Structure 1
Amino acid sequence: MLGFFKERRRKAVRGRPFPPAWEGILSENVPYFGRLAPEDQDELRGLVLIFLDEKRFEGCGGLDVDDEIRVTIAAQACILLLNRASDVYPDLEVVLVYPSTYVDRRPRTIEGGIVVEDGETRLGESWGRGVVVLAWDAVLRGAADVRDGHNVVLHEFAHQLDTEDGAADGAPVLPKRAAYGPWARVLGAAYDGLLRDLASGDRTVIDSYGAKNPAEFFAVVTEAFFERPRALRARHPALYEQMRDFYQQDPAELSC
């Protein structure tokens, strides 16, 4: 019953006019939007309306959150949902936005079980308690260059997808049980290949940060899939196919 009312409310939200000012923000700040087919652009607008209706934004470090910030972040996050059956990041409650690189002073445990509070500089984080944290200047940089392989919003929201099943393990919720075996084999082999390439000093399409663990591997491969799709497809065709099937998009075939 709750699902029925949610879908009815979301249908009404999708039916709202998309503000012209927001359209301008998409054109100016999210170049990927202009590469999409008209029907995908329409779907993305609807997803943005739902995202902004349901998720809170809070400014940190003195930042005042305005529509430019909200729409720019929401649009990039919703790119990952196009053409897919999704509940629009059901675990996410709030997006915290800093003006620039920030220091995470939460206690962390290092080798030997030692707890330290030295603080780490960050561009973004995805917490398991309904929170995504982003640095606004990094958001703009990541969106502006759609070919550099780096996009903090895609990265952190890939983590949100990964943890929808309760585990940050590089395996998001897949549409069929039979898909998990090929996913594990292909991504596992690509992850091992990245470790070997880095150990031997070879150049890689996938960012070295993906070697940290399978969860980070999935997040950086998501960045490469949308930002360096042709290079990823050429170097890792089986991996590209898995990502294409999951995201139901084929960015390598989009016009530049």
Structure 2
Amino acid sequence: MPALIISALALLFVLWLLGEPYLTERKRQRIRAQPFPAAWREILKRRVPYVRALPADLQLQLKRHIQVFVAEKTFIGCAGLEITDEMRVTIAAQACLLILNRPGDYYPNLRQILVYPGSFVVHQAHTDDSGVAHQGRQILSGESWSEGQVILSWQDTLAGAATPTDGQNVAIHEFAHQLDQETGPANGAPLLARRAHYARWSQVLGAEFDALRTRASPDEASLFSDYGATDPAEFFAVISEVFFEQPQRMAEEHPALYHELAQFYRLDPLSW
């Protein structure tokens, strides 16, 4: 009898695992079928001018994604900040821009978005080559954790959204990290559509990363922020900002890199 009960419980567990994705998608369909709130539409007009550049079909897709994202993710105000719909919709719009046309799962590892009024301080520890431990403080406008959290400065998030052509957007940067972290620690190699794509991805991004790190001098002009030379993960996040905000320059100056990102994001901002 105990063995029979265990078998039955195991079967129920398997059925639950198989049925959960179906139930989740049904719930999302119901959310996407609801009218997009008029107040949210005004928020997009006022805070995220980038949306107006999107073709009509992508605008509709983005709005549906925003509805699901806001319903599923928890927003937490930090340092006394009170979370509002303006914050939820503004952040969600930029996060969902990265998953348009992609058969993803709304950042499946992400549970919480922590929002500070402005830049925040983090305490970091590192060990140098001689084995000596050091403690330090760093002022950040955003951070992405593989444990399921994105931390953003509301002030910097607003600034990034308000100027959609300067190639700098902290929300795009941190949510690109989240895509990178879907398979583990961020390393600049997010989950690609096909295994065969990794060789080309590695070749193109590796060459561009090396070029940014080894250019003649820090004063030499570059389309990409110096922060992108930190490591491959930061490079991927930085070029994602530029891909969405300065596609014309990227396509002209770095055509192979633009092609790789267009293939990954399944979008062509040049056509908007």
TM-score range (shorter-chain normalised) is over 0.9
1:166-205 correspondence to structure 2 within 5 Å = 166-197=184-215, 199=217, 201-205=219-223
Match among 145, 161, 176 for residue 143 of structure 1: 161
Question: Offset at 1:80?
Answer: 0.2
- Structure 2 residue ranges without an equivalent (≥5): 1-18
1:60 aligns to what? 78
Shift in CA distance, 141/111, structure 1 to aligned 2, threshold 3 Å: same
Q: Give the one of 18, 26, 34 matched to 2:52.
A: 34
| AA matched with 1:118 | G
Deviation at 1:110, TM superposition (A): 3.8
Q: Which residue of 1 aligns with 2:28?
A: 10
Contact 2:176–2:236 (CA under 8 A) maintained in structure 1 = yes
Q: What is the distance in 1 between the residues matched to 2:216 and 2:80?
A: 39
Number of the residue aligned with 2:257? 239
Deviation at 1:167, TM superposition (A): 2.9
1:170 Cα deviation (Å)? Answer: 0.3
Q: Is the 8 A contact 1:197 1:203 kept in 2?
A: no
Within the candidate set 108, 111, 119, 2:128 is matched to 111
Residue in 2 aligned with 1:158?
A: 176
Superposed CA offset, 1:148-187 (max 9, x none): 1100000000000001011311011001111111100010
* Counterpart position of 1:73: 91
- Structure 1 Cα separation of the partners of residues 135 and 218 of structure 2: 34
2:5 alignment partner in structure 1: none
1:124 equivalent to 2:106? Answer: no
What is the CA–CA distance in structure 1 between the aligned matches of 2:165 and 2:57, rounded to whole Å? 23
TM-score with structure 1 setting the length: 0.96
Percentage of identical aligned residues: 45
- 8 Å CA contact retained: 1:123, 1:138: yes
In 2, the alpha carbon distance for the partners of 1:78 and 1:187 equals: 24
Residue 153 of structure 2 aligns with an amino acid whose one-letter code is: A
Partners of 1:108 and 1:147 lie apart in 2 by 35
For structure 1, the residue ranges without an aligned partner over 5 or more in a row are: none
2: distance between equivalents of 1:179 and 1:40? 25
SS in 1 for 2:114: strand
- Corresponding position of 2:12: none
Q: Describe the SS at the equivalent of 1:10.
A: helix
Q: What is the identity, as a one-letter code, of the residue corresponding to 1:236?
A: H
TM-score by length of 2: 0.90
Q: Deviations over 1:51-92 (max 9, x none)?
A: 011100000011101000010000000000001110000000
**Which structure has the larger Rg over C-alpha atoms?**
2
